[in-house]
Amino acid sequence: MADHSSFRRHPHPFSVDLVRWLPTFGSTGRLLAAAVHDPAASSSHIHLLSVSDPSTPLTSLPLPSRATALRCSPSVLAAATTSGSLHLLPSSFDTDSAVSVPSGALFHVGPVRGLDCGGGTGGEEWVTAGEDGRVHVVAGGGDGRVVARRVWEGKGMVGYQAARWASPAEFATGGAGCGVQWWDRRKGDAVVVQCKGIWGHGIVTGMVHSIDIHPSRKHICVVGGSSGTIFAWDLRWPQQPIPLSGVGLDGTAQPVCESEVWEVLFDNYTQSSDIISSASTRILPVMMCSEDGILAVVEQDERPLELLVEPCAINSFDIDPHNPSVSSWLL
């Protein structure tokens, strides 16, 4: 296993909510995007930062409210907000070319916490899932416009916290009161499989905060949620979620924390020696961060490996795809 013990700290004057590595390189090297909030000025921005000097933004995109989700694709950096809007910044990082989908009756009303990019038949498409129970697919409509198409109207009966594409036709969502849902656009934009999670095995309530799908195993999701819960969901056995961490699971999984798990990502760098092919039924290692300040790797039937423990929440992290032994995280 790699040595994860080397950390560099970069103090920032604002609250940093989310961070993502960017797939492009700037003249100063590796770039990252950070969603920041200035409580004194009640302002929120997306800052484009250079790893060599992350204290000074290269460019900044103002947001109408605090960012709740941040994702990037080869051509677009996207941010969703607490007010329910979506903002798309092209890879040229020209803020004058940014486009947005405003909040309101035709889109979302309230926080949009689920956001991901997938490749549709006509180009990139973004899925959004909000606390208002609405799910949309957003795509280019020509002439620089974007068009949001509503896939689902939950009418407040459910609230979504996470969304992740698996293929151009399939994506997963999760949140409060709905567990994890698998959608198939080929079947009328319908939920085809649903998993209530593992909270019924000893945890009173459950909330999904994050979903990841491994690029080479699109039938397997990893889910992070409330009460330190992390579990894998294999669509081949949809009613048998695999616990990786959680409180009150009668020893079936070592709890890595007891608070909210804000983000989970398959750790493509830390590979188990027991995993020899994509046909293996063993779950790949998963990296996570939590409200109680833990950054760790969890693995099926193994003790969690703590990489960092902080006295404050770790809201988000990202793994650099160009150098997966190095992670960026927020404190």
Give pLDDT tens digits along the chain (331 positions): 344 456 777 778 889 999 999 987 666 678 999 999 999 999 999 999 998 888 889 999 999 999 999 999 989 999 999 999 999 999 889 999 999 999 999 999 999 999 999 876 667 899 999 999 999 999 986 667 899 999 999 887 889 999 999 999 999 999 986 689 999 999 988 899 998 766 555 444 578 999 999 888 889 999 999 888 899 999 998 888 888 886 555 555 667 888 999 999 998 765 554 554 545 567 889 999 999 999 999 988 888 889 999 998 999 999 887 776 655 554 4
8 Å CB contact between 244 and 299: yes
> What CA–CA distances, in Å, run from 306 to 4, 141, 287?
10, 45, 10
Q: Give the residue ranges of DSSP H helices in 35-111.
A: none
pLDDT of residue 199: 57
Can you say how many angstroms the Cα of residue 302 is from the centroid of all Cα atoms in its chain? 24
Which distant-in-sequence residues (6+ apart) come within 8 Å of 10 by Cβ?
54, 55
pLDDT of residue 21: 92
Say whether 199 sits in a helix, a strand or coil. Answer: helix
pLDDT of residue 29: 75
pLDDT of residue 325: 62
Burial of 118 (0-12, 13-18, 19+ CB in 10 A): buried
Which distant-in-sequence residues (6+ apart) come within 8 Å of 144 by Cβ?
97, 99
| CA dihedral for 259, 264, 269, 272, sign (positive or negative) | positive
Give the position of tokens 């038949």: 121
pTM for this model (two decimals): 0.90
pLDDT of residue 269: 64
Give the CA angle between residues 226, 128, 46 to the nearest 5°: 85
Instruction: List strands edge to edge, sheet with 15-26.
Output: 15-26, 29-38, 43-50, 59-63
pLDDT of residue 117: 94
Can you say how many angstroms the Cα of residue 144 is from the centroid of all Cα atoms in its chain? 26
pLDDT of residue 42: 92
Distance separating alpha carbons of residues 317 and 265, to the nearest angstrom: 9
Which has the closest alpha carbon to 28: 51, 59, 56?
Answer: 51
8 Å CB contact between 88 and 102: no
